[in-house]
Amino acid sequence: MRAVVQRVTSAAVRTLLPQAEPVETGRIGPGLVVLVGVTHDDGPAEAEKLAHKLLHLRIFPDEAGAMNRSCADTGGDLLVVSQFTLYADTRKGRRPSFVAAAGPEVAEPLIEHLVASLRASGATVATGRFRTHMQVSLVNDGPVTVELEV
């Protein structure tokens, strides 16, 4: 599993359904926006490992301003959005290949497992909606953006 993590002061995700008004499916205050991609050999163990990393990733400032606190320490929220494009291969040509991205039948249950693992740890988690076009808005804090791979 691969994730792009952004420290935010706030964020929201809206789902765009055909011939309907956009629907907000998730909103958070201070915390992390997590864009998550799944590849073919990922399983529940990777989802649990990523959940643990996300909860304990020390990218929030302490009293001295050093990045030394995590969501577990601060009570920060998480907005988890599926993002198959994180596995884009752009080495050849001008059109990305998404062969390395797992199909929705594999990815959706693993992202649900990731969210369930985060919630089981006491985190407040909002999500997008799988297999839909989404718009994510956020206020990046810092800015701080990191990549994780498990």
- Per-residue confidence in pLDDT tens, the chain, 150 aa: 999 999 999 999 999 988 788 999 999 999 999 999 999 999 999 999 999 999 999 999 999 999 999 999 999 999 999 999 999 999 999 999 999 999 999 999 999 999 999 999 999 999 999 999 999 999 999 999 999 999
90: Cβ contacts below 8 Å, ≥ 6 apart: 96, 97
Catalytic residue of the set 6, 15, 39, 83: 83
pLDDT of res. 17: 82
Domains of the chain by range and CATH?
Answer: 2-149 (3.50.80.10)
Catalytic residue of the set 19, 84, 90, 145: 84
The pTM is what? 0.94
3 CB-side CA count, 13 A: 27
**Do 99 and 53 touch, CB atoms closer than 8 A?**
no
Catalytic residue of the set 9, 74, 85, 135: 85
| β-pair type (60-61, 67-69) | antiparallel
Q: How many helices (H) and strands (E) does the chain have?
A: 3, 8
pLDDT of res. 56: 98
Buried b (16+ CB within 10 A) or exposed e, 29-68: ebbbbbbbbbbeebeeebbbebbebbbebebbbeeeeeee
**Helices marked H in 1-150:** 44-56, 71-74, 104-120
Instruction: Measure Cα distances from 14 to 27, 42, 78 in Å.
Output: 9, 27, 15
Is 83 annotated as catalytic?
yes
Peptide bond preceding 96: is omega within 30 degrees of 0, i.e. cis?
A: no
Is 84 annotated as catalytic?
yes
Residue 144: which of 38, 84, 57 has the closest Cα? 57
